[in-house]
Amino acid sequence: MQQDLLENQLSREELQDLKNKRAGMFVFQLSWIMAFVSLVVVNWQLRFSPNWAPEGTQKADPILAAFATGALILSVVLVKRALNAIQQNNAQACFTQWLSAISLGALFVMIMVFEWLAIPSGTQYAQVFRLMTGFHVFHAVVIGGYLIYVYQNRHLYHAMNYWAVEAGAKLWYFVLIAWMLFYIVIYWV
């Protein structure tokens, strides 16, 4: 409803610009999700290799990753709530939740870096594990950097100008979707 109100108050050019930004974000996310899906396919293909995980290979424990996943899910919930708050012109609530989301995202990254360093090397399993988690952590750090940028410029955003907040939220949703793909494949399949 708030979004409809905003769109009714924008000029035709501003509305077209906003639609173009949203379409661009969709195409960007779609293209990157294909890269993540490709890594899942590589993982599945290599699982049938005799060198995948020889007997005695230490595999990643899903318990710590489950904790990291919970932190990421909570972070996404806070980002969604922050987006709703800025749409309702409540910048203080928005950026309090935004900062909490950044903190939980940092916790997620730290846990995944620990996992990346803790896995013993020397097997295809370890190499693919490191590739997948490293690829994801890189994206989480870059997008987290964007979330920090938005937070640092929080004085610029309000109910009539919040595209940067919306873009950050959509990028952070992407981090969760990509991680859920990897989490299931790496830890449970």
**Domain extent listing, the chain:** 2-50+62-188
Residue listed under structure tokens 């594990």:
129
Fold of 2-50+62-188: Four Helix Bundle (Hemerythrin (Met), subunit A) (1.20.120)
Q: How confident is the prediction for the chain on average, in pLDDT?
A: 88
pLDDT tens, position by position, 138-163: 999 999 999 999 999 999 999 888 98
pLDDT tens, position by position, 35-94: 888 888 888 888 887 777 777 777 788 899 999 999 999 999 999 999 999 999 999 999
> Measured between alpha carbons, how far is 46 from 35 in angstroms, rounded to an integer?
17
Q: 161 phi and psi, to 5 degrees? A: -150, 90
Taking the mean position of all CA atoms in its chain, how far away is CA 68?
A: 12
| Section 26-42 average pLDDT | 86
pLDDT tens, position by position, 109-121: 999 999 999 888 8
Taking the mean position of all CA atoms in its chain, how far away is CA 189?
A: 21
Burial of 150 (0-12, 13-18, 19+ CB in 10 A): buried
- pLDDT-derived band at 3 (thresholds 50, 70, 90) equals low
